[in-house]
Amino acid sequence: MAAAVNSLTFALGRRFIIVDTVERWKDKELDPLLAPLAAIPADTTVAFFAREDSRAKAPAKLHDAVRRAGGDVSAEVAVKPWELPKWVIARARELKLELEPDAARALIHHVGDRQQRLLRELEKLALGADPGAGARIDAVQLDALAAPSAEARAWSLADALVAGDAPAATSMYLMLRAQGERVPGLLYWMAQRVRIAHDVAQAIEAGEPPAQIKRRLRMPSRAADRLIADARRTGVEQLRDALERIADLELASRGGGSAAVSEDTAALRAIAAIAG
């Protein structure tokens, strides 16, 4: 970051520098950045982004440095679960939608409680609504219009990995990330599905009949048939390698890997390696 601020550029006009995942930074690591941050050129804008939780927060020293440089520090605070329906109704009203309380609760049930994902779904509802202010949506309409849950989409991502469909897995990953899903949550579903497929492949290799394997799988019949076929085609060794890559990716997503690439870059590389 310090090098980027001080580097020369041939670009004309305003320059933007975007710094992500600063929730991993530590106070003691910020010293090289303080002087460049205090002397940012007038035509340069720097934006720091942190996805904070109980274990990872942007350092207070960075907050102080940003304020001293004349910048703003703002936070999007998570809404309490019992306040979420009111928040959804208020955001819908900003998009010229009138959402009934039952519809707001139904949307949360369909999509989950992540505010970013809820807002994306409201925007899609607004695009499909009749033009003009005050389009009303009740719970019945919401059930017909709302997207399926992220859990189901995460299963689709995991199934694409097991099937070796890299384009589908990449597209699904990017869609889930765009609607606010966090990498550790996606890794949970990916690892669970790949582990099931690995167990299926081991059972096939040991000579167990597919019908007997299918009875153990807690999933719809057609989905079980597809998983058994994909696991047979992919094989035990490749699925074991996939589990190892997912484990490495989980370690990196929790700050245990190299900081040279972002977690999305690392995830997309892993998806390409597994599904390729």
The mean per-residue pLDDT over the stretch 223-234 comes to 87
Distance CA 166, CA 173 (A): 10
- The pLDDT value given to residue 134: 56
Q: State the average pLDDT for the chain.
A: 82
Contact between residue 268 and residue 170 where contact means Cβ atoms under 8 Å apart: yes
| Short-list 223, 227, 150, 136, CA closest to 188 | 150
pLDDT of res. 144: 62
- Band (pLDDT 50/70/90 cuts) for residue 201 is very high
- Rounded (10°) angle between helices 183-205 and 263-275: 20
For the chain, percent of residues with pLDDT exceeding 70: 89
Q: What is the pLDDT of residues 43-54, one digit of tens each?
A: 889 999 998 877
Contact (CB, 8 A) for 118 and 147: no
**Whether the predicted model's global pTM rises above the 0.75 cut:** no
**What pLDDT score does 143 carry?**
62
Give residue 150's pLDDT: 52
User: Please, which pLDDT band fits residue 61 given cuts at 50, 70 and 90?
Assistant: very high
Question: Which of 231, 264, 262 lies closest to 158, judged by CA?
Answer: 231
Mean pLDDT of 99-116: 81
Q: Which residue has the tokens 């090098």?
A: 3
Report pLDDT for 48. 93
pLDDT digits (tens, 9 = 90+) for 120-170: 888 888 887 665 545 788 776 776 666 555 555 677 888 888 888 889 889
Grade residue 226 by pLDDT with cuts at 50, 70 and 90: confident
pLDDT digits (tens, 9 = 90+) for 108-131: 877 777 788 788 888 888 887 665
What domains can be seen in the chain, in order of their start residue?
2-68 (no CATH), 81-145 (1.10.8.60), 150-275 (1.20.272.10)
Q: Mean of the pLDDT values across residues 231-238? A: 89
Q: What local confidence, expressed as pLDDT, does residue 146 receive?
A: 63
* pLDDT at residue number 200: 92
pLDDT in tens, 70-87: 999 988 777 888 888 999
